Amino acid sequence: MLNYQVLFLDIDGTILKPDHTYDASTKDAILQVQEKGVEVFLATGRPLHEIKDLAEELNIHSFIGYNGALAVYQERTIVNEPMNEDTVKQFVEIAKENGHEMVLYTSEKNYFTALEKPVVRDFIDKFQMKQNEQFTLDIANRILGATLINLKEEDPSLYQVDDLYHFSQVNVEGLLHCYDVIRDNVNKGRAIKTLLDLMGIPKEKAVAFGDGMNDKEMLHAAGESFAMGNAHPDLFAYANHKTTSVMDSGIFNGLKSIGLVD
């Protein structure tokens, strides 16, 4: 067995089930790998200010947030890559023209193009978001990540104004009309590469779990990678392994298969 040194875990659909709870086996697995000296990261599209309670419950102190735009290793900021201000403004204008909404994340808050529309309220409820405000253009230079809301399947092509950006469907029941904005040069995988270089850990000693297409770069960046049983069907091609679903101890079972938990 390889002496694994770092574990990257997506949150929604990987740690958290649709009802926002997690299996006791998941917490047990995290505790077991931590006792073996493995550094555990939460690696998410979510803003870091919205995952503090979960991090405390799981005793995790290192993070990748905003789909890789911000990475923190034991309270030290390693990656901090805001989006291009002009691109942000273009996306907001396209959304306005097409009846879409957006949530744009800074390091402190979630800014929505409309707060009271039903699709937005549903998004806020499903992710239990608390730090919410109305978006204004004066913060366009501070945006770390964004999610497009209320799109049809063909609509992401409307936002192809910059070749560095692509769009990943949110793999959460009831939110398939939402798409995370992903940058080719700023994503979970790029953040992991930067962190591994800093920590002096080879790729082969890194493990990652994910379920959405925003996890594909992360799975490719780790030596051992697991797609959850409930993952987006296209994600399995990017993972070394398929584990059981988030409803069936997927993290525990995956880690057990490589000898990291008992």
Residue whose C-alpha is closest to residue 85's, from 151, 162, 20, 195: 162
204-251 pLDDT, tens digit each: 999 999 999 999 999 999 999 999 999 999 999 999 999 999 999 999
3-state secondary structure of 106: coil
What local confidence, expressed as pLDDT, does residue 158 receive? 97
Same fold, 6-81+186-257 and 85-183: no
pLDDT band at 96 (very low <50, low <70, confident <90, very high): very high
For the chain, the domains span 6-81+186-257, 85-183
The helix-helix angle for 250-257 and 24-35 (nearest 10°) equals 40
Share of the chain above pLDDT 90, in %: 95
4-46 pLDDT, tens digit each: 999 999 999 999 999 999 999 999 999 999 999 999 999 999 9
Q: Is the pLDDT of residue 1 over 60?
A: no
What local confidence, expressed as pLDDT, does residue 172 receive? 87
**CATH of range 85-183; options 3.30.1240.10, 3.40.50.460, 1.10.3720.10, 3.40.47.10:** 3.30.1240.10
Looking at every residue in the chain, the average pLDDT score rounds to 96
What local confidence, expressed as pLDDT, does residue 113 receive? 98
Contacts of 53 (CB under 8 A, 6+ apart): none
Instruction: Give, rounded to a whole angstrom, the gap between the first and last alpha carbons of the chain.
Output: 14
**CATH class of the domain at 6-81+186-257:** alpha beta
Strand ranges across the sheet with 145-149 = 132-134, 110-112, 101-105, 145-149, 179-183, 165-169
Tell me the backbone φ, ψ of residue 225, rounded to 5 degrees.
Answer: -135, 140
* Cα separation, 156 vs 179, whole angstroms: 8
Q: Is the pLDDT of residue 149 over 90?
A: yes
- The residue-averaged pLDDT of 151-171 equals 93
Tell me the backbone φ, ψ of residue 179, rounded to 5 degrees.
Answer: -135, 125
63-79 pLDDT, tens digit each: 999 999 999 999 899 99
Three-state helix/strand/coil letters over 229-258: CCCCHHHHHHCCEECCCHHHCHHHHHHHHC
Tokens of 211: 């379920």
E strand map for 44-144:
62-65, 70-73, 76-80, 101-105, 110-112, 132-134
Angle at 237 between CA 235 and CA 240, to 5 degrees: 100
